Chains A and B, each alone.
Chain A
């Protein structure tokens, strides 16, 4: 989880450490109303978001909702040939604003309403950022396919 929300592995380590400290510090605040796992996850996400805010790298584009399209974004790949590290690297390459929204919505199951509250943005902004994140990821995956084909062809010619 920390890797998803970090730019580097070292940042992820820091986030993990800070998250653990925060969990132990605020463990008395756990009310036993939900699962402890879910609570710990939320704390970790909050720590990661704080890091983003401190770095002042969160500048979201304000987009009106009517500009959004409901286009489904797909990629033509074999799921079995895609590695975890590859996908994580793709996420980390995203601009922070897209990275956060994508992670929260797709991987951690937040709704746009929840994302808007957490990141203090509108739901429209959340949706547009998510769309752009998807597009960027699609392009990256497609580019990686082309690159890998070229590499293989070069190896064959030589």
Chain B
């Protein structure tokens, strides 16, 4: 039977040619595609990791410095306690050792293709072997490099996971330390506060010797408490002094109660009077002249009797004052605090005196008879404390006090008010 020679060879050889199943080729292609994608991914993540590491090293120096010791310690512990499979294998050196044959380094699955004969023939044929050897070396180097790259990739992955774990652990540790520190601080604060409060509780009393000056006034105009006859003359208050001591009881953190004993002087001057040497039986004023005083004061010139046309009467009233006040702390900052003061005072008349001031003399001439022995005042003020030491403090206050029930047969409008400022060094006990 005649047959075309091409068909004879084609059918026989190609028909009996052992071929790998199609699935194998598809599997190889799929694997190659997967490796291609993985290669891109590794490149992407490698570049990202390098960038991130560079960024962290370059821009987070200040964050790393205080925590580096803890990180190091943790990383060492972590490395020791790492499971074996996590520790990366020793990376092959880039330059192969002399004793390492190319076949030894060649992957196992390809090793069987290297028969001893082929290696022998390589050594026999000089030209062939040198070319082949260089080619093999290249191939082997490529394979080794690929292997190393894979190992480095796995190492990088391991390092990533290690860094991730370390970061987690470090965050935990930092949170724990912060919590402990906060607890310690709060305990310390509590203990300090309790100590302070104990100390404060132990020192609830303060005593403050004070000295101050005050000015006196009246809300009513053209009214003289010396007598109706003096109403048309000018009456003004004079600066006087104020001294005594305050005793303060600290009732709570902010509220204190204070009392004390003070000597409070109030002075008024009535100007534009005439001094007469003729004593009349009728005197419309509230002045009670001392025995032996043979002069009188009038608001008008009495011909033949007036000896001085420029006379003034100075009324001095001294009270023993006992205040009852409540202090409310409005402001406190380290050594300074300020309190609002409100309360009242009992006043007990201690001195009632009229002095005559003329061109000729200055002498005590008597007293008024319309001042009540006891009176009260409503007190409002603001004080300021500066703590000099644990026991000493400087205290200063501005007080406004309105007197009530001062004069007999006069309404409270004529009762004086005082505005004073005082200061002193207090002692806590």
Closest residue of B by beta carbon distance from A17 = B113
A122 to B139, CA, bound (A): 35
**Are B110 and A24 in contact, with the CB atoms below 8 A?**
yes
A157: interface (CB < 8 Å): no
**B4-31 residues at the A interface, CB under 8 angstroms:** 4-6, 8-14, 16-17, 20, 25, 28-29
Q: How large is the interface on B (under 10, 10 to 19, 20 to 34, 35 or more residues)?
A: 35 or more
Min CB–CB distance A12 → chain B (angstroms):
12
Is B191 in contact with chain A by the CB < 8 A criterion?
Answer: no
Contacts of A106 in B (CB 8 A): 6, 9-10
Least distance between A129 CB and chain B CB atoms (Å)? 14
B2 at the interface (CB under 8 A from A): yes
Q: Across the interface, do A25 and B139 meet the contact criterion of CB distance under 8 Å?
A: yes
**Beyond A30-B32, A35-B29, is A75–B3 a contact (Cβ under 8 Å)?**
yes
Tell me which of B25, B32, B117 contacts A32 (CB under 8 A).
B32
Closest residue on chain B to residue A1 by CB atoms: B17
Secondary structure dominating the interface of B: helix
User: Is there an interface contact between B13 and A87, defined as CB atoms closer than 8 Å?
Assistant: yes
B114 contacts chain A at the CB level, 8 A cutoff: yes
B8 touches A82 (CB 8 A): yes
Contact of B114 (CB < 8 Å), options: A17, A27, A88, A134: A17
Give the interface centre of A4, A36, A75, A102 by most chain B CB atoms within 10 Å: A36
Give chain A residues whose Cβ lies under 8 Å from the Cβ of B117. 10
The secondary-structure label for the interface of chain A is helix
Is B1 engaged at the interface, CB distance under 8 Å to the other chain?
Answer: yes
Cβ–Cβ contact B12 & A14, under 8 A: no
Asked whether B29 lies within 8 Å of A36 as measured between CB atoms, the reply is yes
Interface residues in A17-38 (C-beta closer than 8 Å to B):
17, 20-21, 24-25, 27, 30, 32, 35-37
Q: Is B118 an interface residue (CB 8 A)?
A: yes
Q: Is A70 an interface residue (CB 8 A)?
A: no
- Chain A residues in 8 Å Cβ range of B219: none
Which residues from chain A contact B5 at a C-beta distance below 8 Å?
73-75, 134, 137-138, 141
| Shortest Cβ distance from residue B234 to the other chain A in the assembled complex, whole angstroms | 116
* Alpha-carbon separation in the docked complex, A20 to B107 (Å): 13
Q: Is B115 an interface residue (CB 8 A)?
A: yes
- Residues from chain A with Cβ under 8 Å of B12 in the complex: 79, 82, 84, 87
Expressed in whole angstroms, the minimum distance between the Cβ of B254 and any Cβ of chain A is 83
Q: How many residues on chain A are close to B (CB under 8 Å)?
A: 37
Q: Is the CB of B118 within 8 A of A72?
A: no
Other-chain contact of B142, A4, A20, A25 (Cβ < 8 Å): A25
When distances are taken between beta carbons in the complex, the residues of chain A under 8 Å from B138 are 25
Name A81-116 residues within 8 Å CB distance of B.
82, 84, 87-88, 91, 102, 106-107
Contacts of A76 in B (CB 8 A): 1-3
Bound-state Cα–Cα, A79 to B10, Å:
11
Residues of B within 8 A of A21 (CB): 135-136, 139
**Min CB–CB distance B144 → chain A (angstroms):** 13
Q: Does B33 belong to the interface (CB within 8 Å)?
A: yes
The reply to whether B113 and A20 form a contact with Cβ atoms under 8 Å apart is: yes
Contact A77/B3 with A17-B113, A20-B113, A21-B136 known, Cβ cut-off 8 Å: yes
Whether A77 touches B32, Cβ cut-off 8 Å, given contacts A21-B139, A107-B13, is no
A13 within 8 A of partner (CB): yes
- Shortest CB distance A5–B (Å): 12
Distance in angstroms between the alpha carbons of A16 and B13 in the assembled complex:
18
Interface string of B93-115 (1 = CB under 8 A from A): 00000000000000000100111
- CB nearest to B2 among chain A residues: A74
Q: A17-B114, A24-B139, A27-B32 are in contact. Are A84 and B3 (CB under 8 A)?
A: no
Which residues of B does A touch, CB under 8 Å? 1-6, 8-14, 16-17, 20, 25, 28-29, 32-33, 36, 110, 113-115, 117-118, 121, 135-136, 138-139, 142-143
Q: A37-B20, A87-B12, A107-B10 are in contact. List 19 more A-B contacts (CB 8 A).
A: A14-B118, A17-B114, A20-B113, A24-B139, A32-B33, A32-B36, A35-B25, A36-B25, A72-B4, A73-B4, A74-B5, A75-B2, A76-B3, A77-B1, A84-B16, A88-B13, A102-B9, A134-B6, A137-B9
